[in-house]
Amino acid sequence: MIAALRLLFFLSPFGTIAAGERGVHLRFTAVTGKVFGEGLYFRVPLIESVQMMDVKIQKYEMKSDAASKDLQTVHSVKGQA
């Protein structure tokens, strides 16, 4: 009895998805097309799984230098979110 409860806990059919993440539903490692949002989800143990994906905005900055028509140096930093 205790072993069955431990096995059930280990193969828990419930899970949670945190803020800024999405869960892609897989059945036998094949994508089903279902995407779980933030919160609680249910899956069939040993058959289905959920792969977590980070969907937070990532910041990227690029520095560049150039010369103007009258040969003055121009510096710019372009940020992209």
pLDDT digits (tens, 9 = 90+) for 33-70: 999 999 999 998 888 999 999 999 888 788 877 777 77
Classified as helix, coil or strand, 4 is: helix
Global pTM?
Answer: 0.61
**In Å, what is the CA distance from 5 to each residue of 2, 12, 25, 42, 43?**
5, 10, 25, 18, 17
The predicted pLDDT at position 53 comes to 93
Q: Are 37 and 17 in contact (CB under 8 A)?
A: yes
Q: How far apart are the first and last CA of the chain?
A: 53
Q: Above 90 in pLDDT, residue 3?
A: no
In sequence order, which ranges of the chain are alpha helices (DSSP H)? 2-10
**In Å, what is the CA distance from 24 to each residue of 4, 38, 48, 66, 80?**
28, 12, 11, 44, 27
The predicted pLDDT at position 62 comes to 80
Percentage of residues of the chain with pLDDT beyond 70: 93
